[in-house]
């Protein structure tokens, strides 16, 4: 790429983490590491340090939609990711806006839905009425949905206790209607390796990586989904984008660092 050419563009629709580890901040860091220009539609602002999320406020729906439409109309977008969406009202508005702009499994622009429900501290990032909206309005439009095991249980009722439960879990997710599902097994700490499972109904692929002994994994889910989104924006096919994301997140966990009194962030390195 010559210095004056326009890079691919990705949009993240997500919340702000004042601690700089997760959310919008993680997405932009990852897009940048992947040489993709990141644009943002901020849905909520969290009051957050490395120990807890003590509060958050939602952005008015008209401003969320306004951000999406402004950047798409002027800058364009090759892939979209959603993270913390906070409320049913925001989820419904994002779903309608995706339809309007051809974003999602039946449009031209891939949509990665990271169904963020809670922080790793256990603090909720989603109002209680929003889970059903996520399940019925947004996930059926997704090119790829990327839950961790807690989010998977909330969405499908399936509880994963070992890697042998991942297949049925992926099938349960696909029944919600996304084009593909990626079940992340980072929380299966009793397993020696970290084997995630990709399933698009035609292919089921195991993605193994080494498990690093660290508690500094804040923003890991966001970083993984953002890396996949960046790869999609750069034109990679979905399965290649998932492998790219797996490699990036594995190295980012290896390179994570301590911060504050709680959990430090993962650190994506430039590609």
Give the count of residues interacting with ligand PLP (CB under 6 A). 18
Of 8, 15, 110, 245, which one interacts with ligand PLP (CB under 6 A)?
A: 15
Q: Which stretch binds ligand PLP (CB under 6 A): 65-73, 179-187, 198-206, 213-221?
A: 213-221
The HSE-up count of residue 146 (CA atoms within 13 Å, CB side) is 26
17 binds ligand PLP (CB under 6 A): yes
Looking at the chain, the number of H-run helices and the number of E-run strands are: 8, 9
Per DSSP, helices labelled H in 140-215 are 149-156, 166-174
Q: What is the nearest approach in angstroms of ligand PLP to the Cβ of residue 265?
A: 8
What is the Cα–Cα distance from 137 to 91, expressed in whole angstroms? 7
Q: Which residues contact 32 (CB under 8 A, 6 or more apart)?
A: 38
81 binds ligand PLP (CB under 6 A): no
Q: Which stretch binds ligand PLP (CB under 6 A): 11-19, 63-71, 154-162, 232-240?
A: 11-19
Of 220, 245, 262, 268, which one interacts with ligand PLP (CB under 6 A)?
A: 220
State in Å, rounded, how far the first CA of the chain is from the last one: 13
Nearer to ligand PLP, 218 or 246 (CB): 218
Site map (CB under 6 A) of ligand PLP, residues 29-58, x = contact: -----------------x-x----------
Nearer to ligand PLP, 40 or 163 (CB): 40
What is the Cα–Cα distance from 173 to 182, expressed in whole angstroms? 9
What is the Cα–Cα distance from 154 to 151, expressed in whole angstroms? 5
Q: Which stretch binds ligand PLP (CB under 6 A): 114-122, 128-136, 172-180, 185-193?
A: 114-122
Of 9, 37, 184, 218, which one interacts with ligand PLP (CB under 6 A)?
A: 218
Per DSSP, helices labelled H in the chain are 23-33, 61-75, 88-100, 130-133, 149-156, 166-174, 220-233, 238-254
14 binds ligand PLP (CB under 6 A): yes
What is the Cα–Cα distance from 51 to 240, expressed in whole angstroms? 35
Of 83, 178, 186, 262, which one interacts with ligand PLP (CB under 6 A)?
A: 83
Residue 197 tokens read as 């499972």
Nearer to ligand PLP, 110 or 220 (CB): 220
**Residues of span 125-164 touching ligand PLP by CB under 6 A:** 125
245 binds ligand PLP (CB under 6 A): no
Supply angle C-alpha 192, 194, 196, rounded to 5: 145
Binding residues (CB under 6 A) for ligand PLP: these are 14-15, 17, 22-23, 46, 48, 83-84, 116, 119-120, 125, 218-222
């Amino acid at each position: 790429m010559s210095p004056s050419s326009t890079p691919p563009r990705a949009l993240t629709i997500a919340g702000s983490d004042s601690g700089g580890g997760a959310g919008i901040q993680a997405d932009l860091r990852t897009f940048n590491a992947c040489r993709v220009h990141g644009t943002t539609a901020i849905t909520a602002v969290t009051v957050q340090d490395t120990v807890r999320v003590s509060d958050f406020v939602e952005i008015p729906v008209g401003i969320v939609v306004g951000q999406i439409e402004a950047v798409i109309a002027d800058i364009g977008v090759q892939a979209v990711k959603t993270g913390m969406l906070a409320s049913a009202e925001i989820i419904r508005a994002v779903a309608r806006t995706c339809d309007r702009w051809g974003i999602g499994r039946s449009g031209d622009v891939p949509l990665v839905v990271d169904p963020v429900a809670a922080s790793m501290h256990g603090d909720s990032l989603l109002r209680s009425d929003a889970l059903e909206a996520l399940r019925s309005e947004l996930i059926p439009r997704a090119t790829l949905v990327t839950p961790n095991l807690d989010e998977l249980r909330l969405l499908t009722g399936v509880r994963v206790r070992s890697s042998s439960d991942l297949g049925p879990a992926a099938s349960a997710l696909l029944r919600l209607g996304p084009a593909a599902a990626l079940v992340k097994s980072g929380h299966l700490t009793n397993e020696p390796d970290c084997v995630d499972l990709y399933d698009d109904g035609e292919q089921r692929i195991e993605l193994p990586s080494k498990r690093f002994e660290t508690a500094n994994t804040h923003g890991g889910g966001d970083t993984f989904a953002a890396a996949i989104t960046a790869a999609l924006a750069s034109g990679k096919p979905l399965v290649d984008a998932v492998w790219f994301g797996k490699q990036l997140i594995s190295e980012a966990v290896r390179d994570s660092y301590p911060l504050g009194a709680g959990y430090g962030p993962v650190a994506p390195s430039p590609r």
